[in-house]
């Protein structure tokens, strides 16, 4: 009488199709995702509880903590502020200027920008803030 032997088949799970699917999903999400580009200028905007988010494509002037001035991402000098703003506002349809000033910027510098912008022909001034961290 022959003895029964417990021969078990080894189960092999082929994970090659799984790896293929994971790589295809990874490539799909990398290709379809959008990346927002932030300007390379570091600003810490002041916070305000009553600020509202607006998406506007207008003239933007930025003042860094060390009082460097940028108009639409391009560095300008304080002495050239009025002529640069005048020429930029002539080409602008809505005559709106967005002011992004670092929270450590002196108040007088922001007032100078606002006054110069009004003299250059800006009709609307927007001072940006950020919502406070919750």
Q: Which residue ranges make up each domain of the chain?
A: 59-127
pTM for the full predicted model? 0.57
pLDDT band at 19 (very low <50, low <70, confident <90, very high): very high
What is the per-residue DSSP string for 72-100? TTEEE-GGGHHHHHHHHHHH-SS-EEEEE
**Two structure tokens written together for 82:** 């009025």
Three-state SS at 61: strand
The pLDDT tens digits for 25-50 are 999 988 888 766 555 556 666 777 77
**Average pLDDT value over all residues in the chain:** 81
Write out the CATH class of domain 59-127: alpha beta
Tell me if 96 sits within 8 A of 126, measured CB to CB. Answer: yes
Taking 80 as the threshold, does the pLDDT of residue 89 lie above it?
yes
Q: Are 129 and 47 in contact (CB under 8 A)?
A: yes
């Amino acid at each position: 009488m022959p003895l029964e032997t417990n021969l078990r088949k080894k189960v092999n799970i082929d994970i090659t199709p799984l790896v293929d699917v994971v790589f295809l999903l990874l490539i799909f999400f990398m290709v379809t995702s959008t990346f927002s580009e932030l300007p390379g200028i570091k600003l810490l905007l002041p916070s305000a509880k009553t600020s509202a988010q607006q998406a506007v494509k207008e003239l933007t002037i930025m003042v860094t903590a060390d009082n460097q001035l940028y108009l639409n991402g391009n560095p300008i000098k304080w002495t050239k502020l009025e002529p640069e703003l005048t020429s930029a506002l002539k080409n602008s349809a809505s005559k709106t200027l967005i002011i992004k000033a670092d929270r450590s910027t002196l108040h007088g510098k922001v007032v100078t920008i606002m006054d110069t912008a009004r003299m250059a022909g800006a009709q609307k001034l927007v001072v940006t803030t950020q919502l406070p961290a919750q």
